[in-house]
Chain A
C-alpha cells in the first residue's frame, strides 16, 4: 500500500455530492446531505421542517440559517451513528408525529442512517414487521446494499436494546 494524501483533504468532496432522496411517504423525505440550492426547492415542494442528524454543529449552524431563510423549520439532532439508542427513536417519534412538523425532510450524509431510523421507527413505534418496512424502503428506491446495512444495524440495535423496548 502507498500513502497518497490526507483524509482531511478529501473530506470536503463528500459534502458536494448530488442530492439523493427517498420519499417513503407523502410527508416524509429521507435524504442525503442537501446542498444550498435544495432548501428553497424543499420549501416550494411544501416541506415545512428539516431534521438533520449529522454530528457537526458548525455545518448545522450554517444549514439552519439557510433553511430558515427559505422559510423552513430546522432541527439539529446529532444522534450517534455508532450507537443508536431507544431514546433517539423516541425523540424521532415525537418530532415526526408533532403536528407542527408538517412535511419533513430527514437527512444524514448518505441517506442510509435516516433509512435505518425510519425502519426502526416503523417497527418499534408503529408495530410494523421488518418485512413491511423493508418493502416500503425498497419501494422508495433503496438498493440491496442499503438493505444489507439496515439488516446488520437493526440487528445490532435490537441486540443492545431488546429489553428496553
Chain B
C-alpha cells in the first residue's frame, strides 16, 4: 500500500461521483500530497485511469482491489502534482 496523506471514502457512489468528489478533494491538498480514494464502483478503475490522462494536476500512483467484509473495494492513490 503506497503512503497517503488523506482518505476519501466514496463507497456507494457511482460514476461520475467518485471522480467529481476526488477532483474537489485533491484541489484542497497541498502539491505533492497523496489522496487515497476508496470506491465500491468497479468502473472507477477505468475512470481514474482516464482522468489522469487528461488532468493536468494529478498522477495516479497505484490502484488495488481489496476485500472488506465480503465486499470488493477499489482503492486509488492519487498525487497532486500542480
Contact = CB atoms under 8 A, between A and B. Distances in A.
A110 B43 CA distance: 8
B27 to A, nearest CB: 10
B45 A10 contact: yes
Interface string A80-107: 1111000000000000000000000000
Interface residues of A, number: 32
B14 A149 contact: yes
A82 B67 contact: no
B24 interface: yes
A82 B64 contact: no
Given A110-B15, A112-B14, A113-B15, A6 B64 contact: yes
Contact of A3 (B17, B22, B46, B66): B66
B9 interface: no
A70 interface: no
A10 B42 contact: yes
Contacts of A156: 20, 24
A6 B65 contact: yes
B82 interface: no
